[in-house]
Amino acid sequence: MLNALLAPLQLPVRALDALGQIAEDLAGLREEMAADLRPMRADMAVVRESTSRLPDGIDKLDKTVTGMSAKVDQLHEGVNDIHAGMSSLNAQVEQLGRQLEAMQQAIDQMKVSIEEVTKDLPGAGGTGVVARVRHAIGGETS
């Protein structure tokens, strides 16, 4: 019965023992976590060093992109100039085609006129206007 009467007094001793055990467990956990964090710290140092160069790299990329953008703009202007030149050339080629057709028609008409004139030349055996008139008035038809 004495143990039953002393049990409430033993409760703080047990609580203190439990707290001591918890403290020991936390210390062990702390050591485990510290061991786990060491590689992470090394990795973080590498990441910090790698990312410390990012602003310079971003500036270089920005300058490169800006330069390339300017070159693309120049190329675009050049392409537009070429397109305009091609349009002008196409219009000139069409105009030359029309002029060639007109010249061909003029040449064809000149051929017809020359053929008709040669029929009427003296001594020609043709039946043109001059030969018919000559025949009508009784002239030579040789």
pLDDT, position 125: 58
pLDDT, position 126: 58
pLDDT, position 69: 92
**Phi, psi torsion values for 133, nearest 5 degrees:** -65, -45
From first CA to last CA, the distance across the chain in angstroms is 174
| Model pTM score | 0.40
| CA–CA distance, 42 with 32 (Å, rounded to integer) | 16
Per-residue pLDDT tens, the chain, 142 aa: give them. Answer: 666 665 666 667 777 778 888 888 888 888 888 888 788 888 888 888 888 888 888 889 999 999 999 999 999 999 999 999 999 999 999 999 999 999 999 999 998 888 777 766 655 555 666 667 777 787 654 5
Residue carrying structure tokens 């918890």: 22
pLDDT, position 141: 47
